[in-house]
Amino acid sequence: MLNQYSISTTEEGYNSFTTDFGLTYFLYFTGYYLKNSNGEDVVVMSLGFYHEPLIVENRKYDPKVKNTILQIITDFFENNKEMSTIYICSTSDGYGRHRRITFNKWYKEVDVPIEKFDCREAQAKEGLYASFFIRSDNQLKDYYVDAFYRSIDEYFPADNEYVAA
Amino acid sequence: MKNEKIHIAPNSEKPYNLIRHILEDKKRIQEAIEKGVPLSSLKGINFVKPVQY
């Protein structure tokens, strides 16, 4: 993808890039597991990222940031076709909902066929902005999506329908 | 369900709450990087490298 920043992987295992405006982004994947209907643990990744400094005054829109993050997500699903990942928007600064809206737009531009499943609306109202990403052509998509909702319902029990975006 | 493509984790600790675990880890990771603490020193966080550059 053109018009993006150069990405490096540190020995610590996270990816980083620095913008033209002096922000350094850190992106990492951590491993967890979902619960399937048999109570077994199913491996899943979680994507996290943030930038330093955390507080930015007079922020300017930088499309290269979006392109770079999307490149990492594209590479993840290109190289790990059977895997899925969870993304939870940070709410520590009160902008969790804004991040969710932004990410809802971004993921549609990923260069691989992926689908996003959001946590239930009642959970979002409680401040949880979690989404599950998986390739559309993953033959076990339904299995993983079911495990995702089973797992997050342990945190916020609810009875709503799945939300596919 | 039996399928080779399903990655089952053996011998996990219980009880386990996925969301709480992720949220706690996110906070610890952010604090560690801000303070320059090596991520490898963070106990209980499973860093993976599915994409490398």
Using an 8 Å CB-CB cutoff, list chain A residues near B51.
9, 15, 29, 72, 75-76, 79
As for the ipTM of the complex, it is 0.80
Q: How do residues A30-53 score in pLDDT, each as one tens digit?
A: 999 998 888 888 999 999 988 888
Q: How do residues A67-76 score in pLDDT, each as one tens digit?
A: 999 999 999 9
Q: Around B11, how many Cα atoms within 13 Å sit in the side-chain half-sphere?
A: 0
Does residue A89 sit in helix, strand or coil?
A: coil
Does the beta carbon of B32 lie under 8 angstroms from any beta carbon of chain A?
no
Report domain extents, chain B. Answer: 1-42
pTM of the model: 0.84
Band of residue A95 on the pLDDT scale cut at 50, 70, 90: confident
Cβ under 8 Å to B: A residues 136-155: 139-140, 143, 151-152, 154-155
Helix (H) or strand (E) holding B24: helix B18-35
Contact at 8 Å (CB) between B30 and B42? no
pLDDT at A104: 87
Among A112, A129, A24, residue whose Cα is nearest residue A76:
A112
Does the beta carbon of A47 lie under 8 angstroms from any beta carbon of chain B?
no
Query: Which residues are A84's β-sheet partners?
Result: A134
